[in-house]
């Protein structure tokens, strides 16, 4: 594996994180057993429209990892490969849930490597508990008055309820 920046292994974990879920949190924590530093990158996916602003998404992630050394948070609105170039990194970390993620992830990994040959994408399997968790479903459930407690960090749960003007989530 590529050693970067003073021998530290650094991975960039890009995503929409709209919002961050416990599935993402689990992946970052497990990634920290492999990498010395993980940059959680709030990146722009032109195929999505977002509920939370970039700043709101970054703030929620910052709150979750405020005590975790080695986890950095950043944002980028252009091509991912350009961010890697600017930051001097070459490893992308992504999570893989069910088989349905595979084609999308495979395409992105190959497209990124086509643009910059030295880039490697490392996949971690999603934790079993989080196989069915997605930011999209979480927003849908909360918007219709359901509870996602336990699927997202507590601060995120609160921000979701605030966004949808929900006073108390159903248990
Ligand atoms: O959480 P998501 O929405 O699945 O993450 C997708 C993301 C943001 C990683 C992807 O859309 C991305 O890399 N966006 C940056 C723009 C870019 O480089 N697009 C080409 C990807 S091959």
pLDDT digits (tens, 9 = 90+) for 9-48: 999 999 999 999 999 999 999 999 999 999 999 999 999 9
CB atoms near residue 16 (< 10 Å):
19
Q: What is the pLDDT of residue 96?
A: 94
What is the bridge-based pairing of β-strands 71-76 and 91-96? unpaired
The residues with which 153 forms a beta bridge, in sequence order, are none
- Is 48 a known active-site residue? yes
Residues 47, 53, 57: CA angle, nearest 5 degrees: 95
Residue 112 pLDDT more than 50? Answer: yes
Q: What is the pLDDT of residue 99?
A: 83
pLDDT in tens, 116-170: 999 999 999 998 899 889 999 999 999 999 999 999 999 999 999 999 988 764 4
- Which entry of 97, 147, 163, 169 is annotated as an active-site residue? 97
- DSSP class of residue 98 equals S
Mean pLDDT over residues 106-121, rounded? 97
pLDDT in tens, 39-96: 999 999 999 999 999 999 999 999 999 999 999 999 999 999 999 999 999 999 999 9
CA distance 68 to 36: 12
- Residue spans of the domains in the chain: they are 7-131
More confident residue, 3 or 161: 161
pLDDT bracket for residue 113 (50, 70, 90): very high
14 within ligand 1 shell (Cβ under 6 A): yes
How far does the centroid of ligand 1 lie from the alpha carbon of residue 45, in Å? Answer: 5
Homologous superfamily (CATH) for 7-131: HUPs (3.40.50.620)
48 within ligand 1 shell (Cβ under 6 A): yes
Look at the alpha carbons of 76, 30, 123, 64 in this order and tell me if their dihedral is positive or negative: negative
- Which entry of 16, 90, 126, 135 is annotated as an active-site residue? 135
44 within ligand 1 shell (Cβ under 6 A): yes
* Structure tokens belonging to residue 87: 């930051």
Q: What is the pLDDT of residue 65?
A: 98
Provide the CA 122 distance to its chain's centre, in angstroms: 14
Which residues have CB under 8 Å from 35's CB, separation 6+?
A: 9, 10, 11, 70, 91, 93
């Amino acid at each position: 594996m590529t050693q970067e920046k003073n021998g530290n292994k650094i991975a960039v974990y890009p995503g929409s994180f709209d919002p961050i879920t416990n599935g993402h949190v689990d992946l970052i924590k497990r990634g920290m057993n492999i990498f010395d530093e993980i940059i959680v990158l709030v990146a722009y996916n032109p195929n999505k429209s977002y509920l939370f602003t970039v700043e709101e998404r970054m703030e929620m992630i910052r709150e979750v990892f405020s005590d975790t050394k080695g986890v950095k948070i950043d944002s980028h609105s252009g091509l991912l490969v350009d961010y890697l170039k600017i930051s001097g990194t070459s490893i992308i970390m992504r999570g893989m849930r069910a088989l349905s993620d595979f084609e999308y992830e495979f395409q992105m990994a190959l497209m990124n490597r086509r643009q910059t040959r030295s880039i490697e994408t490392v996949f971690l399997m999603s934790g079993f508990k989080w196989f069915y968790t997605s930011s999209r479903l979480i927003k849908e459930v909360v918007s219709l008055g359901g509870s996602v407690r336990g699927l997202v960090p507590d601060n995120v749960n609160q921000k979701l309820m605030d966004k949808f003007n929900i006073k108390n989530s159903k248990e």
